[in-house]
Amino acid sequence: MSKYCIGIDIGGTNTDIGLVSDEGHVIGRRRLATQGFTEARAYISAMENSVRELMQEHNADIGSIGIGAPNSNFYEGCIDKNTANLPIKERIPLKAAMEERFGVPAVVDNDANAAAYGEMIFGGARGMRHIITITLGTGIGSGIIVDGKLVHGHTGTAGELGHSIVMPGGRLCGCGRKGCIETYASARGICQNYIEAAAQAGKPLTESDVQTLTCQQVGEAALQGDPIALKAYDTTAYWLGIALANAANFSAPQAIFLMGGPTRAGEALLKPLRKYFEENLLYIYKDKISVHLSQLNGNDAAILGAAALGRIES
Amino acid sequence: MSKYCIGIDIGGTNTDIGLVSDEGHVIGRRRLATQGFTEARAYISAMENSVRELMQEHNADIGSIGIGAPNSNFYEGCIDKNTANLPIKERIPLKAAMEERFGVPAVVDNDANAAAYGEMIFGGARGMRHIITITLGTGIGSGIIVDGKLVHGHTGTAGELGHSIVMPGGRLCGCGRKGCIETYASARGICQNYIEAAAQAGKPLTESDVQTLTCQQVGEAALQGDPIALKAYDTTAYWLGIALANAANFSAPQAIFLMGGPTRAGEALLKPLRKYFEENLLYIYKDKISVHLSQLNGNDAAILGAAALGRIES
């Protein structure tokens, strides 16, 4: 039997389970509909069955199980109770449950942290020991790796760079505070940048256009050279450049990697971001920290991140 | 012979060398006038002689040598060439020189980093594994400890929280950028806060008062309840509260410790700082991260920090 590991990505819609080789190939996969489960016990059983099927199908032995999940605590190895977007409202003790069932180490962490390990083991950060990864999406997640290990902090919940305040008194954030980088560079933040850029260009959006605007539309327009969309991404890059320059002061990483839907705009984001990042970097770090897009295949990234998490932390 | 360690604090004026017990007592000390040395070789010899005298005088064996020094690189174990404030302009390979002379591990790092270890081993952070220390002075230094170890990053120069931008486009910093926390909460920043508070109170300072104002004066006035000085410290605390809340997002420490001259104002700084810090903390960290003044004796702090550095990193 060959030795593989399991990566599980828990999202509000789907739970994706992958059998992953040492080289970072997803050999087999299963998908559960997360919303179909209202009890932890049935959910865990379904996960167990999926993993056993994958192992049998590929005649594979596994060395570890990594699970990326929202609202999870690395130290406790569980998903907290009353997690938004999950129909299961009780605490889900995934680490203990999986270790008992499979007799191998299991690790639970949030998906942004798992993504950082995925990039380090299977992506563009191979061989690096100090990186920061930023996941742009509905919110902004981050994973900070210092000397090859994720920073979890005293509480187990470190690495919330999306909620760094870059503009005191700025845009209102979902967290209740003002001026978090998330309000300027998440999908919603980018839409807001577009709405403001359009108004400034003398082409304000209609109420209904504002309601239906998506970040994907802004990204596609930017790829086609639309000046308002490019301006929206320039604004995104400006604030993100400051936030990343501040992050550099903290851990002086070798590289920063960006992932998530809004990064599909590619150079429309990356080119101005590199400029603003360098401009705002403290002189001792200038030209020493590179900024990249993730080099993981978007479809596999979450499973690979979870698999890497299990491999490194087990 | 008893087992001790050596802590050396290199400043622009004095080089303080201390023999330190396991319990954190400075058993003996020597002082060299830093400005009296223009060549690395003579400087290292003088340090060696001082250490040997201390060892003989106290019949002490040593287990490690820790050195806190400006513009030093932890990975390379040296002070870089052309360091401001030092008359020696060549590179000073302190780690190699001391290890060769004494046959024990030697470690070199900047003084703000050494201070963090001092607090963790001998001060108020005993038993803690995740802390941040902030040294207020001419500039602002910081030491970030994650899981019991200082964060050095890829370059060896991580932990520059003094240069986190808290107000884009704000006050001009000595680093050439605008809005670094150093411009609002260093000794000079506090003086600027005082000058602005006085003007706002309708009592603007004269040109000559501005020229001679010191942070120590502002601190003493604050201790005596002077409303303008209290306002200056409130402004300091406001900006520092945001900077520390942002730092919490990064490493979720158990506690943050402040040290350095401006902290002598005590509660005039600490009380508003705790308020603004909590106000700006992301909700998941609220009431979980305490803020303290250093519990090390100010006179011994630098030597103890260097000694702790040598003990932990060797």
pLDDT in tens, B120-169: 999 999 999 999 999 999 999 999 999 999 999 999 999 999 999 999 99
Distance between CA atoms of residues A92 and A83, nearest Å? 10
Judge: A154–B250 Cβ closer than 8 Å, yes or no. Answer: no
Residue B11: per-residue pLDDT: 92
Identify which of A307, A304, A313, A309 has the alpha carbon closest to the alpha carbon of residue A259. Answer: A304
Distance between CA atoms of residues A89 and A99, nearest Å? 22
Tell me the residues of B at the A interface, defined by beta carbons under 8 Å apart: 128-130, 144, 146-147, 149, 151-161, 163-168, 175-177, 242, 245-247, 249-254, 280, 282-285, 288-289
Residue B2: per-residue pLDDT: 59
- Would you mind telling me the total number of residues written for chain B in this entry? 314
Judge: B246–A165 Cβ closer than 8 Å, yes or no. Answer: yes
Q: How far is B185 from chain A (nearest CA, A)?
A: 16
- Region B240-259: mean pLDDT is 98
Residue B106: per-residue pLDDT: 98
Tens of pLDDT, residues A108-133: 999 999 999 999 999 999 999 999 99
Tell me the residues of A at the B interface, defined by beta carbons under 8 Å apart: 128-130, 144, 146-147, 149, 151-161, 163-168, 175-177, 242, 245-247, 249-254, 280, 282-285, 288-289
Residue B183: per-residue pLDDT: 97
- Region B79-97: mean pLDDT is 93
Judge: B167–A168 Cβ closer than 8 Å, yes or no. Answer: yes
Q: How far is B279 from chain A (nearest CA, A)?
A: 9
Collapse the DSSP code of B299 into the 3-class scheme (helix H, G, I; strand E, B; otherwise coil) and give the result. coil
Please name the residues in contact with A163: beta carbons below 8 A apart, sequence gap of 6 or more.
A173, A175, A177, A180, A181, A182, B249, B282
* ipTM associated with this complex: 0.93
Please give the model's pTM, rounded to 2 decimal places.
Answer: 0.95
User: Above pLDDT 70, what percent of chain B?
Assistant: 99
The answer, yes or no, to whether residue B1 has pLDDT greater than 60, is no
Distance between CA atoms of residues B286 and B288, nearest Å? 5
A79, amino acid identity? I
Residue A2: per-residue pLDDT: 59
Distance between CA atoms of residues A283 and A279, nearest Å? 9
Distance between CA atoms of residues B249 and A143, nearest Å? 11
Please name the residues in contact with A127: beta carbons below 8 A apart, sequence gap of 6 or more.
none
The answer, yes or no, to whether residue A61 has pLDDT greater than 70, is yes
Question: Dihedral through CA A122, CA A124, CA A127, CA A128, nearest 10?
Answer: -120
Judge: B249–A161 Cβ closer than 8 Å, yes or no. Answer: yes
Residue B185: per-residue pLDDT: 98
Q: How far is A193 from chain B (nearest CA, A)?
A: 18
The answer, yes or no, to whether residue B69 has pLDDT greater than 80, is yes
Considering only CB atoms, B251 lies closest to which of A153, A249, A252, namely A153
The answer, yes or no, to whether residue A1 has pLDDT greater than 60, is no
